[in-house]
C-alpha cells in the first residue's frame, strides 16, 4: 500500500476536513506539521501554485485543495462512502460543498476585521447560516442522511471554529433559537466518534486565535 502523508498545520479547519475523511475510512497516514510563517521546501515543492496546506501526499504524489483531496480519498478508498451513489444526490452534495467553500470565508472576515467591515461580514455570515438552515439541512440528522458525509465535513468549520470566532470577537452569529436545525446538526456532528475524537482542543484554539486577531489588528 502506497504510503499516505498529510502536510498541514494545526488548527486549520481545512486540515481537519482531511483528517476526518482519512479517519472515517481507517486510512493510516503520517502527519507532517508545516510552519506557515516559514514555509518548507517540501510545501513549495508539493504546492507551488498556492503554497497552502493541506497537501495529501499519496505514494509521493501531491494533491492540493481540501475538497479535491476528499474527492480523491473517496475514489481511492470507497469504503465508508462519503458521497451518495445516486448521481443526482451526488450533484446536490457537490452544490452544497461548493456553497460551503464560497461562503465560509465570511466568518473569517468577521474574525479579521472591526467596525463597518466587520458588520458587513457579520451580515453576510448570517445570510449564509440562514441559507443552510432553510435550504441545506432539511429534517435529516446530517446533510442528506443518517451518517456524516462530505457535505457535513465541508461545513465542519461551523461546528467549532465558528464558536471560537464568536468568542474571540464578541460577535454572536449563531443563536440556537434562530437556527435550530443548524444547532442540532452541530450537536450531532460533534458527537460522531470520528469527529469527537479529532477536534482541536477548544481552549488551545481560543488562545491561538485570540493571539492571531490581536496581531492582525495591531498590524492595521
Partner 1 sequence: MADVKLHGFWASPFSYRVIWALKIKGVDYEYIEEDLSNKSELLLKYNPVYKKIPVLVHGGKPIAESLVILEYIEETWPGNPLLPSDPYEKAMARFWIQFAVAKASVYRAFFVSTGGEDQEKARKDWLEVLKILEDQALGDKKFFGGDTINLVDISYGVLAYWFKNTEEVIGIKVLEPTTLPRLSQWVQNFMQVPVIKENIPDSHKMLAYLRIVREKIIVAEQHNK
Does residue 10 touch partner 1 according to CB under 8 A?
A: no
Residue 27 sits at φ, ψ, to 5 deg, of: -95, 125
Q: Which 11-70 positions form the footprint of partner 1 (CB under 8 A)? A: 48-50, 58, 61, 63-65, 68-69
Interacting residue with partner 1 among 31, 39, 40, 71 (CB under 8 A): 71
Straight-line distance from the first to the last Cα atom of the chain, in angstroms, rounded to the nearest whole number: 49
What mask, x for binding partner 1 by CB under 8 A, covers residues 140 to 179?
Answer: ----------------------------------------
Does residue 92 touch partner 1 according to CB under 8 A?
A: yes
Instruction: Measure the CA–CA gap between 76 and 92, rounded to whole angstroms.
Output: 22
**DSSP structure class, residue 133:** I
Interacting residue with partner 1 among 35, 75, 139, 203 (CB under 8 A): 75
Cell numbers given for 113: 476585521
Interacting residue with partner 1 among 87, 115, 170, 193 (CB under 8 A): 87
Closest CA to 90 of 62, 70, 64, 66: 70
Does residue 181 touch partner 1 according to CB under 8 A?
A: no
Instruction: Measure the CA–CA gap between 208 and 203, rounded to whole angstroms.
Output: 9
Query: Which is nearer to partner 1, 50 or 172 (by Cβ)?
Result: 50
Does residue 91 touch partner 1 according to CB under 8 A?
A: yes
Q: Is 42 exposed, middle or buried (CB count within 10 Å of its CB: 0-12, 13-18, 19+)? A: middle
Does residue 2 touch partner 1 according to CB under 8 A?
A: no
Instruction: Measure the CA–CA gap between 220 and 218, rounded to whole angstroms.
Output: 6
Least Å distance between CB 132 and partner 1? 10
Q: Which 98-117 positions form the footprint of partner 1 (CB under 8 A)? A: 98-99
Query: Which is nearer to partner 1, 95 or 202 (by Cβ)?
Result: 95
Does residue 76 touch partner 1 according to CB under 8 A?
A: yes
Residue 22 near residue 73 (C-beta atoms within 8 A): yes
Q: Which residue has the cell 435529516?
A: 140
- C-alpha distance from residue 73 to each of 17, 18, 25, 54, 216 (Å): 11, 9, 9, 13, 35
Residues engaged in binding partner 1 (CB under 8 A): 48-50, 58, 61, 63-65, 68-69, 71-72, 75-76, 87-88, 90-92, 94-95, 98-99, 131, 135
Amino acid at each position: 500500500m502506497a504510503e499516505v502523508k498529510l502536510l498541514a498545520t494545526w488548527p486549520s479547519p481545512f486540515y481537519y476536513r482531511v483528517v476526518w475523511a482519512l479517519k472515517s475510512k481507517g486510512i493510516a497516514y503520517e502527519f507532517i506539521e508545516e510552519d506557515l510563517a516559514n514555509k518548507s521546501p517540501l510545501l513549495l515543492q508539493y504546492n507551488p501554485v498556492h503554497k497552502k496546506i493541506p497537501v495529501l501526499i499519496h505514494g509521493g504524489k501531491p494533491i492540493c485543495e481540501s475538497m479535491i483531496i476528499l474527492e480523491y480519498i473517496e475514489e481511492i478508498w470507497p469504503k465508508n462512502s462519503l458521497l451518495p451513489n445516486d448521481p443526482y444526490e451526488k450533484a446536490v452534495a457537490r452544490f452544497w460543498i461548493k456553497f460551503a467553500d464560497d461562503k465560509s470565508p465570511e466568518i473569517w472576515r468577521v474574525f479579521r476585521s472591526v467596525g463597518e467591515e466587520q458588520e458587513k461580514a457579520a451580515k453576510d455570515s448570517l445570510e449564509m447560516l440562514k441559507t443552510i438552515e432553510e435550504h441545506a439541512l432539511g429534517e435529516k440528522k446530517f446533510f442528506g442522511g443518517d451518517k456524516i458525509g462530505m457535505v457535513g465535513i465541508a461545513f465542519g468549520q461551523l461546528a467549532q471554529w465558528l464558536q471560537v470566532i464568536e468568542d474571540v470577537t464578541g460577535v454572536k452569529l449563531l443563536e440556537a433559537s434562530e437556527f435550530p436545525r443548524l444547532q442540532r446538526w452541530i450537536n450531532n456532528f460533534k458527537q460522531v466518534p470520528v469527529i469527537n475524537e479529532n477536534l482541536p482542543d477548544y481552549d488551545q484554539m481560543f488562545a491561538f486565535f485570540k493571539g492571531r486577531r490581536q496581531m492582525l489588528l495591531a498590524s492595521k
